[in-house]
Amino acid sequence: MLNILVLVKLVPDTVEELEIAPDGRSLDPASVRLILSERDEHALEQGLLLKERYGGTLTVIALDVPEVDDVLFTALAKGADRAVKITGMEPGPSTWTAAGLAARTLAAGPGLLPADLILTGVQAIDDLDGQAGPILARLLELPYVGITCRVEVDPGARSAVVVREYVGGVTGTFEVSLPVVLGVQSAEKPPRYVPVAKVRAAMKSQRLESVPASGESAVMRVEILQLMKPEATGRAVMLDGAPEEVAAQLCDVLAARGLL
């Protein structure tokens, strides 16, 4: 029976136009719609696959931010056994602060540690000063493997075989003793879809647990001087018109380069 923890976080949806706040150093909250970080969705899926394959319990854990309830109920509807939010913390820009807080709260939260596997997304689009996985691993003094795309556990031997992506399609295989922290790049299957009706059912029948953030959060060791929209450098020549017209213009461009 594996005890699997999956740490997830919400990040700004980049489909929305992100605006910078008047202080020049943070995002305007009015422009931000939070969604589950894409890699964390893969971490959850990998955790669910491991639970189904080897048995055990899966707990999904997130910092308490707006929209987090929906994300946690969705995880319960997908098959997580417990959903825990860490409350009483101002979400800040620092991965260190958040990961440090999570590490301490895991230790203090009821029945969370010891875990066999702690999974999180390998990276998030708001990782300014680190990545949560390696930071957690160091703070919990556990080994870490990142960019994972496959995990096999040998529960008897208390070990796992983990496949990590390198470059050019090459992967490396590691054998690691449990417990371990994994930074998931992609789950072995695409993240499962769960119908809204099942999420609603989870909202009625299950409950979210809250654990207050404990201890001082880790220090942020960097100073943000300014946020800015990147200046458009070498911006493309933009073509306009109805689809037919644009298609004709594009074909002219290709023809001029001898590509047709």
Partner 1 sequence: MAGEIWVLVEQWRGRISDITYEVLALGREVAEALAGSLQAVVLGPGAGESIFSLGAADGALMVEHSALAEPVPEVYALALAQIIPQRQPQALLIPQTNVTMELGPLLAARLAVPFLNSCRDVQVTDGRPVARCILYGGKVEASVTPQSAPAVFGILPGVRPPEQGRVERAPAVRALSVDLPTEFPLRFRGYTELEAGDVDITRENVLVAVGRGIQRPENVALAEELAAALGGAVCGSRPVIDQRWLPPSRQVGTSGMIVKPQLYLALGISGAPEHAQGMKEAALIVAINTDPRAPIFDIAHYGVVGDLLEIVPAMTTRVKQGKQAA
Binding characters for partner 1, 13-32, by CB under 8 A (x = yes): -xx-xx-x------x-----
Of 110 and 231, nearer to partner 1 (C-beta) is 231
Of 170 and 197, nearer to partner 1 (C-beta) is 170
Cβ proximity of 47 and 120 under 8 Å: no
Q: Other C-beta atoms within 10 Å of 244: how many? A: 8
255 binds partner 1 (CB under 8 A): yes
Residue in 29, 67, 114, 250 binding partner 1, rule: CB under 8 A: 250
Site for partner 1 in 35-64 (CB under 8 A): 38, 42
Rounded to 5 degrees, what angle do the CA atoms 188, 46, 52 make? 100
Helix, strand, or coil here: 43? helix
Of 72 and 140, nearer to partner 1 (C-beta) is 140
Unique residue bearing structure tokens 């880790």: 218
In angstroms, what is the minimal distance from the CB of 159 to partner 1? 9
Site for partner 1 in 133-152 (CB under 8 A): 133-135, 137-139, 143-147
Beta-carbon contacts of residue 59 (< 8 Å; ≥ 6 apart): 3, 4, 5, 6, 80, 81, 82, 83, 84, 112
Pairing, β 10-12 against β 34-36:
antiparallel
CA distance 231 to 234: 10
In angstroms, what is the minimal distance from the CB of 221 to partner 1? 4
Q: How many residues does the chain have?
A: 260
131 binds partner 1 (CB under 8 A): yes
Binding characters for partner 1, 78-97, by CB under 8 A (x = yes): -----------------xx-
Smallest CA-to-CA distance from 176 within 133, 135, 144 is with: 144
Binding characters for partner 1, 170-199, by CB under 8 A (x = yes): xxxxxxxx--x--x-xx--xx---------
In angstroms, what is the minimal distance from the CB of 238 to partner 1? 5
In angstroms, what is the minimal distance from the CB of 118 to partner 1? 14
Element (H, E) at 138: helix 132-140
In angstroms, what is the minimal distance from the CB of 244 to partner 1? 5
Cβ proximity of 106 and 140 under 8 Å: yes
Cβ proximity of 138 and 118 under 8 Å: no
Widest distance between CA atoms in the chain: 67
Site for partner 1 in 220-249 (CB under 8 A): 221-230, 232-240, 243-244, 246-248
